Every structure is written in structure tokens, then in C-alpha cells.
Structure 1
Amino acid sequence: MNELGRKAAELKQRGDQLGEKALRHPWMVRLARLGYLAKGVVYAVVGVLALQVAFGQGGEMTDTRGALASLAGETWGAVLLTVLAVGLTGYVLWRGVQAWMDPDGKGTSAKGLVIRAGYLVSAGIHASLAVAALRLALGAGGVGKHGDQSAQSWTARLLSEPFGQALVAVVGLVIAGIGAWQIHKAWTEKFRDKLRLQELDARHAAWAMHVCKGGIIARGAVFVMMGGFFLLAALHSNPREARGLDGALAALAEQPFGTLLLALAAAGLVAYAVYMAVVSRYRRFLGA
């Protein structure tokens, strides 16, 4: 083995040891599980609000930040938002551990490094959600721009830069690629390897798999749509064509049989929330 390969192997072994040490800490796994559950709660709110729109019971199209804002006015909203802020912080820490210490063994291949970089991006996104939840809990202000407003603002900023259309197109391809990867993960049931579903009886495990697959596919399909809107914005150099999660759901409602499509997507997001709850309870850590 050459010197470079030897050093890479040493770094990986050191990362494995650090990752195991982190997960041996009594609070790390608990924070990770709470983080998955908090993420699920946010998606459940998004899905339920969209279901209400689909069935004409009020509600609104919103994204994850808007979901937090909708909780602020509820009874015990401040308490729930505080718990969500703590949970999302736990999720951020866990994503950091996954990216830096690689406890899941993604390795240092090109594919492994891309996945681990994705964990860092996820950590950043959920860190901003945690801050927004805490600000709302403390009554320190709203969540700022979110959904379509945020997507269009960022798109306009990128389009104003040199090679702006190309940058927006790359963003669209990345978002659509994430969605396609989620659909692939669900279809091939790769996510099952990380779950201890043998603790459930066969019937409940089968139902859990169906719900989890449906949820992951639904979220992936919405991401593919969002990526497509960014690509349209790049093609036409028009930031108004970019859409966030709320805009993607609204676009479904505008199609023929829109009410049905919106209801299916919203139910899928609720199913994704169930998947997060299943992960929170049954995820394997260190292969256990």
C-alpha cells in the first residue's frame, strides 16, 4: 500500500473510532432519536395543513419553516417549539457526526464523500430550522422568508451573478437528484437495513414498510418537482418560476384532478413523518 493509501486508511480508522466514541456517549443516540422525531413532527404539520386544503377544511400550503410558524399560535405552542428546537439541534449534531466521523461507513470514495457532504448541507438547513423554532418560542420574531418567497429570493440573487443561469440550473439538478435518490432508496428498500424491524411482529413490520416507502417516495417526488421549477427558472432566467415546498404542492392542486393529487402528496408527507418516527424508534446505531 502506498503512503497516500496508508494515511487514508489511518484517517478512516481514526474516524471510525471517533464515531464509535461519539455514539457511546449516553446523550448522542438520544439526541439523534429526538432529532428524527422532531423532523417528523415538522413534516406532519406540513402534510396535515395541505390535507386540510385538499378537503376544503381550511389549512394552507406551507413549507417546514411555515409549519413552525403555524405552531406558534397554538396552545402550548411555545413549549412544543422549544422541544422541537432541542430535537432539531440533536438532528444537526447527528448529521455532523455522520459527516465527520462516518459511523455509517460511507467511506472516502467519491460517492461516500458526496453523501457525507450532503449530511453537512442537511445539518445547515436544520440548524436554521432549530434557530427559527427557538426564536418563535421566545417570541423574538417570525421565521423570515420561506417557501416560494425564499426560493425566488435566492434564485434572483443567483441569477444576478456571473453564470447565474448555470448556478440556478445546478441547484435545480441537485434538488431533483436528491428527490430521485429518495425514490430509488424507497423502491429498493435500502433504508430497511438501518432499521430493527425484527422487533415488530411480521404484520406490523409489513405495514411499517408500506407506510415508510410511500412517505419517502412522496417526499422524493415533491423534491423532483421543486428541482424542475428551479430548472425552468434557470431556462427562462425568471426567478418567479422557482418554487419551494408550498409552491410544489400548490402546483399539484392546479393540475387536472388537482384535489386528488394534492391529497395524495399531503398524505405522503404525513407518511414521511411516520417514517421519521419509525427511524427515531428503530434505527440501528453502530450496527446494533
Structure 2
Amino acid sequence: MVDKSEKVVWLARVGFAVRGLVYVLLGYLALTAGKADVDDGAGDSFRVLNAIPGGPVVLYLAAAGLVGYALYRLSGAVFDIERKGTSWKGRAARIGYLASSVIHLVMAWTAMRIASGARGAGKDSSSGMAGSVLNFPFGETLLGLIGVGLLAAAAFQARSAVTAGFMRHISSSAPIFTCWTGRAGHAARAVVMVLIGWSLLRTAWFGQSNEVVSLGKAINNLRDMGAGFHVVAAGLLLFGVFSIITARYRVIPDPAPTKGLRAISI
């Protein structure tokens, strides 16, 4: 009989694969299509999937995987299953995991809405969601914490791109090109995380939800970089390939808060 923690691990693997597919499609759209085709980020990728035969079923399965991945990241933030500790560096990493959990829950919700044919589904709702959070008590603080978490995650992503530390948590039987694919992907993802995290901090400071940028908008904001934009877009596509590879070869500890768990990277 499969216990609950093992089910979450398998859902996390599906989540890695779904995340990979989203980034592959997003990078491809950024490289080959116009600005409007990537304005919503993950939602644009989900609309592509929804258009294929059996698309809604695929999206519901994708949403389940993203929820599993979000729960896995939440376990890292709350139970410290990756053993980051309570140092400032460990706390920053755990806040990053919390931010990642929230982002992937939003992605799962978007996938379900598109699959169900909900009105307005797939439209960029970043500003609207931020506005809703600002209406809650301490909403500015919450958005600020998520922004800090994303900036911390961006720093870890950049370090991983340089050191390839993520390979410590990949099986030795993974394809030989996994390392360089991961390095390029982590570097590109660090760039867009900085843009999104900074937009959340500006929203928390000024209290204006229109400061928030989605993944798609963050990519579009780089278009004026010319060749730099194409490098980042290609890097995001490669991050998708890396995520699909790691869905199979990632060493994932039991999400239950037990002793002796191995740490993994963002």
C-alpha cells in the first residue's frame, strides 16, 4: 500500500515534469511568437495544451501534479525537510520555498480554470490577485515576504548556475548534458525571478497592484535587450528540458518531517 508521503513524492515528480513542459512551451513561444503570446506566462502554455485533443484532461492531471509539487515545497518551508536550518541563509531558502509553493498553487488554479472553460481563464490576473492580497490585514507584509523569497530564490538559482550544485541531487544515470542544461536554465530563471520579486516588493511598498509583473510580463520586459532576450528565452526553454529530466532522475526525500532527510536544491 502506498502511504501519503509517497503519493506526494510521485505528485512532486509529475509536478517537475509539468513545470518542465510549461517552461519548454513558454520559451518556445517567446522565441517564435509575438509579445502578446507570452503575456500571461504559464497561462499561455496551458492554452496551448488545452487546444490539443484531450487537452482539458491533460490540464487537470497537470494541475494535480502542480499541487503535489506545491505541497512538497511547502513541506520544505514549514518542516525544513531539506534541512536548511535556521540561519539567515536557511531562512531565506525556506521563504523561497514558500514563495515557490504559492506560485505553483496559482499555476495549478490557472490550469484548472482553463480546463473547465471558465470565463476569462488564462488572462493575466497577477495584478488582481495582488490587489486582493493588499486588502487583507498585513497584505503588504505578505507580498513583501513573497518578493523577498523570490529574490532569495533568484540568488540561489544564480549560484546554482555557477556551481552546478544541483547535480548533487541528480542521479548519476542522468543524461550527460543535464549539467549544462541545468546551468543555462537556472541562470535564465534567476533573471525573471529578480524581475518578479522586485515587482512584488514595489507593490508592497507603494500599495499599487499594477506594479506586479507575471512570468510572461517579466519575459516581455526583456525584449528590448535584443540578443540578451533570446538568450534568456532559450535558457527558459532549457530549464524546461532540465525539469523534465529531473522529474525522472531527481533524488527526492520523503516529505514527512522525519530525521535524516537528504537536502535538495530549489
Partner residue in 2 for 1:127: 105
Distance 1:163 1:93 in 2: 22
Q: Is 1:87–2:65 an aligned residue pair?
A: yes
SS of 1:106's equivalent in the other structure is coil
- The correspondence for 1:275, drawn from 214, 217, 242, is 242
TM-score (norm 2): 0.76
Alpha-carbon shift at residue 226 of structure 1 (Å): 3.3
Residue of structure 2 equivalent to 1:150: 126
Supply the distance in 1 between the matched residues of 2:165 and 2:106 (Cα, whole angstroms): 29
Distance 1:138 1:245, change over 3 A: closer
| Counterparts of residues 1-288 of structure 1 (less than 5 Å) | 23=5, 25=6, 27-53=7-33, 59-143=37-121, 145-146=123-124, 150-151=126-127, 154=130, 158=134, 174-196=149-171, 198-200=172-174, 204-205=175-176, 207-229=177-199, 240=210, 242-255=212-225, 258=226, 260-286=227-253, 287=262
- The verdict on how the C-alpha distance between 1:142 and 1:254 changes in structure 2, with shifts beyond 3 A counting, is same
Are the structure 2 counterparts of residues 241 and 29 from structure 1 closer, same or farther at C-alpha, using a change threshold of 3 Å? closer
The alignment covers a number of residue pairs equal to 253
Q: d(CA) in 2 for partners of 1:253 and 1:136?
A: 27
Q: Secondary structure in 2 aligned to 1:276? A: helix
Aligned partner of residue 33 in structure 2, secondary structure: helix
User: Alpha-carbon deviation of 1:47?
Assistant: 1.2
What SS does structure 2 have at the residue aligned with 1:62?
Answer: coil
Give 2:219's aligned amino acid: L
Unaligned 5+ runs, structure 1 = 1-20
CA distance in 2, matches of 1:102, 1:229: 27
CA-atom RMSD in angstroms: 3.5
Deviates more, 1:264-273 or 1:237-246: 237-246
Q: Which has the larger radius of gyration?
A: 1
Task: State the alpha-carbon separation in 1 of the partners of residues 65 and 89 from structure 2.
Answer: 29
Structure richer in helix, relative to its length: 1
Structure 1 residues 172 and 68: CA distance shift in structure 2, 3 A: same
TM-score (norm 1): 0.71
Question: Which amino acid in structure 2 is aligned with residue 244 of structure 1?
Answer: S
Q: Tell me the distance in 1 between the aligned counterparts of 2:130 and 2:96.
A: 19
Cα 1:145/1:158, change in 2 over 3 Å: farther
| CA 33–250 in structure 1, closer or farther in 2 if over 3 Å, else same | same
User: What is the rounded CA distance, in whole Å, between the counterparts of 1:126 and 1:245 in structure 2?
Assistant: 12
Query: For the structure 1 residues 119 and 83, does the alpha-carbon distance in structure 2 shift closer, same or farther, using more than 3 Å as the test?
Result: same
CA–CA separation in structure 2 for the residues paired with 1:113 and 1:233:
22
Q: Does the C-alpha gap of structure 1 residues 128 and 241 become closer, same or farther in structure 2, counting only changes over 3 Å? A: closer
* Distance in 2, Cα, partners of 1:250 & 1:271: 18
Letter of the 1:281 counterpart? R
Q: Could you tell me how far apart the structure 2 residues matched to 1:163 and 1:285 are?
A: 33
